[in-house]
Structure formats: C-alpha cells, structure tokens
Structure 1
Amino acid sequence: MDRRTASDNSGRSAELKAPARRRLLGAATILLLPVIPRVAMAAKLLAVRTWPAEDYTRVTLELDSELRAEHFTLENPHRMVVDIQGMEMNPALNDLVRKVRPDDPYISSLRVAQNRANVIRIVFDLKQAIAPQVFTLKPVGDYKFRLVLDLYPKVAQDPLTALLKKMPQKKLDEDPLARVLNDISNNPKGTGMTAMPVIPNSVAPATGPSSPGKSPTPLGRRRMVTIALDAGHGGEDPGAIGKGGTREKDVVLAIAQKLKARIDATPGMRAYLTRDGDYFVPLHVRVEKARRVKADLFVSIHADAFPRPTAGGSSVYVLSERGASSTAAKWLAEKENSADLIGGINIQTQNQQVAKILLDLSTSAQIKDSTQLASNMLDQLRNVYRLHKPQVENAGFAVLRAPDMPSILVETAFISNPTEEQMLRSAQTQDRFAVAMHTGIQQFFRANPHLASTG
C-alpha cells in the first residue's frame, strides 16, 4: 500500500469516527446538565360548600385534581381534624370558615392552617360527638374533583322518633299509638312512666279538608295514615336548572312543604318529609326512611327537564316491571337514577346488599296500588295545568322500588320550559299543585279504605 492510499484510508477512518465522537460529546453534555427536582403543583381550590341539616352536615371542597385526606376525632372537647395532602394555604379557604352557620347542629367553628409542606389542616370544633365519613368523588356533571366530609351523629336519630317529636299535641291525641311511641321515646328508661296507655281498637273518625281551614269531609273510621313526601334532589345535587336559574331542588321542596301542611291539617293524616332542607339524601335512604316511619304512601315530587325546551305538562310515573312506557320516560328515569352520582354517595361504605334488597322487592300488588294512586293524582293535576301525557307512565325509577307501599313520582311541570319555569316559581302555583296532590291522596284512600283501616 502506498503512502497516498494509507493517507486516504486514514482520512476516511477519521471522518467515520467524527459523528461518533460528536454523539458521545453530546451525551456527555446531557449528563452534565444539573438535575432539577420536579415540584408538585398544589391543587387549585375551586369552591367550598356546607350543607347543615339535622340528619348530618356535609362539607365539600371542589378542586381541579384529586387529593388524599386523613382524619381523626378528639374528645373533651369534641373535635375533628382533617389533613389534606397536596394543598397550600389559599385565600379561598377563608370562605369555608365564613360558611359555618350558627344553627349548624354539628359544627361550632373551624380553623384552617398550613400544617406542614403541602398539607393543609382543618380543625372542626364540634357541638356533639360524630361518626364522620371522609371520601373523594371523581368529576361528574358540572363538578370537578370533590373532597367530601360528612359529619353524622354518633347516635343517629330514628326517623319515626323524629316524626313524633315534631307532631303537635293535637295530632298525638288523634293517634293513641303515636302517643305511646312518643312517651317511650321521651322516657327511654321508663322514668316517669307509670303504666302503658291502653290502645283502643279504633280511633276517632278521620276527615279530610281539601285545604286548611275548610270544613272537613268525612273519610270513615280509620287509623292515622302516614304519607312520605320525597322532595327530589337537594344539597350537592340541584336537579334540573331552568334557563332563568330556577333550581328543581328548591321548587319541589317548597311544594312538598305546602303539601305537608295540608296533610297535617287533615285529621287522621300526617306527612313525613324525607328531606326537609337543602341537603343530599341517597335514593335508597329515601326509601328506607319512608319504611322506617311505616309510611302508607310514598310520593316523590320533581320538576321535569328535557333537551327540547318546548316540552311541557305534568306527568305521573309508577315503577315499571317491563321497561319504560316511552323513550322520554326511560331517559328521565336514567337521569333521576344518576342523582346519587351528582349528589355524592360514599360508595365505599354503602351497604350494597341492603340497598339491593330495598330496591328489588317490589311486588305486582304494590305496582297495582301505585297505578291507582297515580291515576287519582293525574285526574287532579289536569285541573292545575295541562298534562304531558293523558295516562300514567312507567319507568324504572330507583326511588319507587319500595316493596310495601304504593309509590309514585310526580313531575309537576317542565322546568326546562321557560314558561313553566316561571310558573313553578309562583307560590300560588306551587300551592295549586299541593292542593291537587292532597285531593288525589284523599281520593285514593276513599277508594281503598282497607289500606287505612284500623288495626
């Protein structure tokens, strides 16, 4: 090999090795760059809300990302401490302090502070011992991630006891059994009780005015009947919202309260509200509450919504054994059955077996009685406003699956219809719906005296 050839080969070898050297130098440069630790971004607090009620108080923190929280309780005095990871102090947390209401049954006050890096501590000063539930919810509907703090009483009050405590003496005098139960609840250990009152085989004749203050219409000799009134939605779940901002949960609670006043003014009848304020009640708990107070009827009250704003009119639904009676009915039932997701149920602690038993025991006899009640109700509602459909509709509403009482769901009007939204805001119209439903209930018991017979 001559010198020129050797020189050429050497040059080509150097050219081939150059890219490799450049790659190696580049890699070395990358390795020599300083390693910058990644700093976790603190979650952004979007909103804080409180929902105080006799049943329980709920506190909700809505954030843009999911968080973890740890909690524990203390005694003497009663407190709950919650450590939220992934948060820094934020002016919005001051809103939580301001949202504590003086009449909250559980929270006296609260304090918020930075406990340590990336951890916020909330200390709740409590009015009584609690059994808390703390859980997170994934984004659903208009909500992002939610951290939910539910403060339940350590000893929950029985719904029947609560009902009796709120009954006026006049009503207790009408119902001898209620008097006995009320005495027992007020004297759990028998203190001050000398003898058990004798319960007669019949009570005074029950009557039913169509509105408070009017002369009563005889209904025959009956025991006290209990009507469970279920105002749909509540708390975190506003239900449907009209174009003008009217919330379904507010309208239906107002109607339920007006209907309760009329039922309570009817001798031989009393009403029980599954929700008497603005707070969330899971669907199966609504059914369970009605059963605990030995309700004879269950009436769930709603204000319909539909994608088409021209849809309108009143409707009455009963549970379907074979599917929905229309596409719209199926769509509505699916929407209403999603209330637990919107309202925020603690799935981890929900007793799925008990819920399944409550929701799967409906009978043909119950559906038959429910259909008759719905027909009576529909006949009365047509006097208030036009009907969406002239017949009772069927759909798989979870809240109607009580096995031992006639149950119906009343859609008073379409809140998604601007004209009907305005109508639903009117106290006079709300009262007219209450009168119609009250009359429908009375007609049902006149046609079915055996369901309200003395025992």
Structure 2
Amino acid sequence: MKKLILSFLSLAALLFLLPTLTHAAADSKIRLYLNETKLEPAVAPYLAGNSTMVPARVISEALGALVDWNNAAHKMTVVVDEKKIEVFENSTLGYVNGKQVTLPAAPVVKAGTTMLPVRFIAEQFDFKVQWDASAQAVYLMTPDAVAAVAGHNELWSINVASDSVTIQAAEGMKANVFSLSGPDRIVIDIPNAVAIGSLPRLGEGDAAVVTLASANPSITKIRYSLFDPETSTLRIVLDTNGKVPYEIVSPTGASKLVLSLKKPASGKFKVVIDAGHGGYDSGAVSVTGKYEKTFNLSVSKKVKALLDKEPKIDAYMTRSNDTFVPLDDRAAFANNLGADVFVAIHGNNFSSTSNGTQTYYYNSYSKAFADTMHKYLVAATGFRDDKVRKEDFRVIRKTNMPGVLLEIGYLSNKKEEALMFTSSFQDKVAAAIVKGIKAYLGL
C-alpha cells in the first residue's frame, strides 16, 4: 500500500514542477505508471493558480493512514507512519509533527473531497519520477523499484506512430539496429537495459518474451526479450509487413531512439476493398428482396472511386463485378499485393428488429484499424453503435495486414434497408470509409 501512496505523491511533485503537464493530466492526456502498473486514480489532480491539487483522502486511504476530518474546525489530520500532518481548509498554514509550515496553496474541499497542494505533500516522501514526452506518460518508481534496476538503463516505452518508432530510455542508448528477413523484421538490441515504465516486465527465465500490439499498418506486432543475460541486452523486434525501409534520425547515444519509417518506394499505400459475396453467392436477401452482394459492390465501387482521387493511395478491389471470389483468394490477393490495409464491406441480416452498425476484426494488429474505421462509419450511418467486435471471419483472419469487416446496417430492418439502397446514403458511407482509412494511415 505504501508503494501506491508514493506513486500518487510522485505524480503530485511532477505536476507541480511541470505546470504544462498538469493541464494535460487534467485532460486525461497523460498516462500514469507506477513501476510497471498503469494507474487509474479515481480523482484526477487539477491546476489551481501555480499549484497542482490532489485528493488528500484518496492518497491517505491508499496508504492505510489514519484520517480524521474535523468539520467544525475545517481541519484534516493525517497520520502516516510516524508523521502527523494537519491542514486547514482555505488556509496556507499547517503543521507537520507539531511544527508550523506554510503551504504553497490553501487546501480546498470539492464535492466532499479535500484537495491539497502537491508541493506540500511531495516534500514529505522519497520517490523517483520520469516524464516521457514521446509517449505522453509519467513513470513513477518506488524506492524498492529503483533499487531493483540499479545499474541498468531503464527502458520506459516503445511508441509507434504512422511514420516512426520511438524508444525512450532513462539514459543514452548504444543500440544496434538491423533488418532480417524470413520473416521480415527490424531488430533493435539495447545492452544493459531493463523494461520498466509502461513496458510489462519480462517473466521468469531468459526465454521470456513480451508481445505488444501495433497501431501501424507496416508493423504487425512488437516483441521484446532478454536476448543476452550476460550483458543484459534487451532485444526488440518489429515484425513488419514485407521490407520496411527505415532511418535512425535520433543522435547517437541519445536516450530517445527514433526510427523514421520511410514510405513505400512508390510513395503510395496499397488499400484493398473487398465487396462481400458475389456471383451465385447473393449474401443476405433484404426485407424487400434485394441482394446484399449488390449493396456491397455498389458501396465498394464508390469507395474505390474516392480512393483513386487520393495521390498517396493505390486502391484495389477483390471483385469489380458480379462474380464470386473464394474467401481464401480474397485474402491471398491482398497478401500477395503487399497491401497496407484490407476492408471488407457487407450488409447485415438477422431479424426485423435488429439494427446498428458493427465493425469486426480478428488479428490483434487489426484492432486499432477497426476502432478508427468504426468511429467514422457510425457517424456516417447514423445507426445504433453496435460496437467493434472480434470474430473469426476467414477473410480477415487470413490477411497479413490490418483488416476489418464492416457490417454497415441490417438489410432485415425495413428502415435501415430503405436507406442502404439509396445513392446518397452509400455516398456518405463511402466517404466515411475513405476518411477512416486515411486517418489510420496518417494521411
């Protein structure tokens, strides 16, 4: 429990020392970590003038301290180990073990919660705090955690963007970066390093491997392990979709290693649009007797037409007319092409009361793509948000790149079906699909 209180106090000190971070924390833009654990404080700190305020009772109760609030005197008393702290609402005077002290800001009561200035609290405890700008994260370490990694370079985070990979450490890194094939991957060896901060610690045994999801279409996943125990070398592997050119753009020996991921030689992303069903496979039959395959192809063609106007995208279709293409062939087409993303377009079917828009993914590296696409799609359809879901659909399971299957709406629902076969609705949906693709690709 004491480690938890130290983490909150560490945050308090950091927010006091870095006011610009306080604003971000108040907006929930900064992630907080205690050792290897992400913190989810129930009451967020906030900025009051030049001081950052934190909930005293939450902190004290997390420590297991004795807390007493005297309503008549507007006084809070907190006893922590051998330390007795007394503070008063709306007063900058307080006491620590009977000795009068001046607080940088007066405690206030908000919604029944007493808020204290962080500088006052931070001065009472020992802690270590690190700020990682690339990951927008605060890493808090208890004294025990500091001792456990003493003598090693602390690796805080691996941050993947649309055009770069950033590895942040506490100290300068002498990293060895190289590419391997069969399968294609980028390897980064960092000697005398230990995973901490936002990175899960390695399990027992030298062969332990931690795998992380990637939100970049060029990188299918990230994994790291203790490659050489004798030199404490941490190996980070970026599994890629084909050969991905890169360039180290950070200074040699810096604490931040930045790899710039170069665009394909053509300078364009490859996008595959899959119109579901086709030919003898009509798909669902709508409430008025229309075929799903017709809807799928119509929307897909509109998406393709819009993508063809994008200078940084080459768009392809698994079928451009009323023909049947086996599911494995659709996935193979995208894989052989070396596509960056795969989008399958469908209409849903169940009962007359079923309604809503769904987005499906299967592989972990497709989740970020699914979340992005769903946001734009739901806004365009105006239908009920029927969530992003994981499902073992063959066409998206077999794609090597991020892939999603979009269920635009229910053809079995009279209201949704009536809209889905109108040109204006399809234009709106097609535009949203293109926006989602561009947003995910960082265009």
Q: What TM-score range do you get, normalising by the shorter chain? A: 0.3 to 0.5
Higher RCO (C-alpha under 8 Å, 6+ residues apart): 1
Q: Computing the radius of gyration over CA atoms, which structure comes out larger, 1 or 2?
A: 1
TM-score (ref. length: structure 1): 0.38
